[in-house]
């Protein structure tokens, strides 16, 4: 269970308007003018509109949306690569917008690390030098930088490549160096902006699995930007969906999939393989009663596809749901099948006559 003490980053009433006089545009935006009209009538671009997000410690918060939704603009406000037109960005209880240059540099060097889509490695430095670069930037010794760089290169599967140069590595290997560099900084917060988008599909899947494996061990606070819904659903503890600079829906990914609150979200998730994404815990009956006529046990974290395979598709079966050796619910196959029906098909009000 979480409470306010778990919040690592709090974004409050954040606006960003691009143009020659953004402050003057705030009145129009607060009076309801939207992104297209602001551009057409006043020549300004509404990048972010009243963003409110709590990012909890030790979780992966995924911010997703299509091109132009504002997701990359938003992540750059967290470490103040971009300053907002209005609003607050609170990190560890402090407003980073009040920081001077020295305190801001300290934030970027010690509290946050960033992994970029295009790797951003130094081509004329070895893999080892790149991996330990954050330590060198802080002014720490070469011995410490190499030690930390070596440790994390080994952890991401690049032992033996220390003296290679980035140009000698594949894209996936270069991104592993980027992750090792971020981890070697020992920062509490990792910002990952479309970190896997430039990779081939199979390599991308491997990198997602690596990130989840590292996160189970390290419990970092990660803000991950993506335009890919499958990636978002796989990685996110908390999912934020943007459109035209505004938050359309946010919450636990399974809950968004089962309870979309907007036609845009419904259309967005329409092609998702729900059986592969949804978990037993999202569709089970939460109870500790023993149940009758059970066909076996399933784990709360199993996806529905695996349960369908075990059941042979028999909708009359029931299973005890387990977590850490304890019963947490009962799974009724009819409820499982019902959850596989997309909202548009399940809701008569949305059907086209």
* Amino acid 353: pLDDT: 37
pLDDT digits (tens, 9 = 90+) for 187-198: 999 999 998 888
DSSP letter for 110, please.
Answer: I
Which two three-digit tokens encode residue 186? Answer: 């020992």
Report whether pLDDT(103) > 80. yes
* Amino acid 347: pLDDT: 55
Task: Count the neighbouring beta carbons within 10 Å of the beta carbon of residue 282.
Answer: 18
Which two three-digit tokens encode residue 351? Answer: 């059907």
- Of all helices (H) and strands (E), which one includes residue 137? helix 133-137
pLDDT digits (tens, 9 = 90+) for 143-165: 999 999 999 999 998 999 999 99
Angle at 238 between CA 234 and CA 240, to 5 degrees: 95
- Sign, CA torsion 135/136/140/145: positive
Range name among 67-81, 108-122, 278-292, 321-335 with the lowest pLDDT average: 108-122
Which pTM does this prediction carry? 0.87
What is the CATH architecture assignment of 277-344?
A: Roll (3.10)
In this prediction, residue 325 has a pLDDT band, given cuts at 50, 70 and 90, of very high
In this prediction, residue 343 has a pLDDT band, given cuts at 50, 70 and 90, of low
- In 157-273, which residue ranges form alpha helices assigned H by DSSP? 171-184, 201-218, 229-235, 253-258, 263-268
Domain 58-85+96-268 adopts which CATH fold?
A: Rossmann fold (3.40.50)
pLDDT digits (tens, 9 = 90+) for 250-278: 999 999 999 998 888 998 888 888 998 89
Q: What is the mean pLDDT of residues 328-346?
A: 85
- Asked if residues 196 and 227 have their Cβ atoms less than 8 Å apart, the reply is no
Domain boundaries, the chain: 58-85+96-268, 277-344
d(C-alpha 227, C-alpha 248), whole Å: 15
Report whether pLDDT(2) > 70. no
In this prediction, residue 352 has a pLDDT band, given cuts at 50, 70 and 90, of very low
Tokens 């720490």 appear where? Answer: 140
């Amino acid at each position: 269970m979480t409470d306010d003490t778990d919040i690592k980053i709090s974004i409050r009433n954040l606006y960003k308007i691009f143009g020659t006089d953004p402050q003057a545009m705030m009145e129009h935006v607060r009076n309801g003018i939207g992104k297209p009209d602001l551009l057409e009538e006043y020549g300004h671009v509404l990048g972010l509109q009243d963003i409110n997000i709590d990012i909890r410690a030790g979780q992966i918060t995924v911010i997703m949306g299509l091109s132009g939704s504002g997701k990359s603009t938003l992540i750059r406000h967290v470490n103040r690569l971009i300053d907002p037109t209005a609003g607050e960005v609170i990190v560890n209880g402090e407003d980073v917008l009040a920081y001077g240059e020295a305190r801001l540099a300290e934030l970027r060097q010690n509290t946050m690390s960033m992994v970029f889509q295009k790797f951003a490695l130094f081509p004329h430095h070895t893999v080892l030098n790149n991996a330990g670069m954050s330590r060198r930037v802080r002014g720490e010794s070469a011995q410490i930088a190499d030690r930390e760089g070596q440790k994390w290169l080994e952890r991401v599967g690049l032992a033996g490549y220390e003296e290679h140069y980035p140009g000698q590595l594949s894209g996936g290997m270069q991104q592993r160096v980027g992750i090792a560099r971020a981890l070697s900084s020992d920062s509490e917060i990792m910002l990952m902006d479309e970190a896997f988008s430039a990779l081939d599909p199979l390599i991308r899947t491997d990198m997602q699995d690596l990130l989840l494996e590292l996160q189970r061990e390290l419990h970092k606070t990660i803000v991950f930007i993506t335009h890919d819904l499958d990636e978002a659903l796989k990685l996110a503890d908390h999912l934020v969906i943007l459109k035209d600079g505004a938050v359309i829906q946010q919450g636990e990914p399974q809950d968004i999939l089962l309870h979309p609150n907007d036609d845009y979200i419904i259309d967005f998730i329409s092609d998702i393989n729900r059986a592969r994404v949804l978990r037993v815990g999202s569709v089970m009956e939460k109870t500790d009663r023993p149940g009758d006529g059970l066909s076996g046990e399933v784990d709360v974290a199993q996806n529905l596809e695996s349960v369908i395979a075990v059941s042979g598709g028999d909708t009359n079966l029931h299973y005890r749901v387990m977590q850490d050796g304890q019963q947490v619910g009962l799974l009724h196959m009819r409820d499982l099948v019902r959850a596989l029906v997309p909202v548009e098909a399940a809701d008569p009000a949305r059907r086209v006559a």
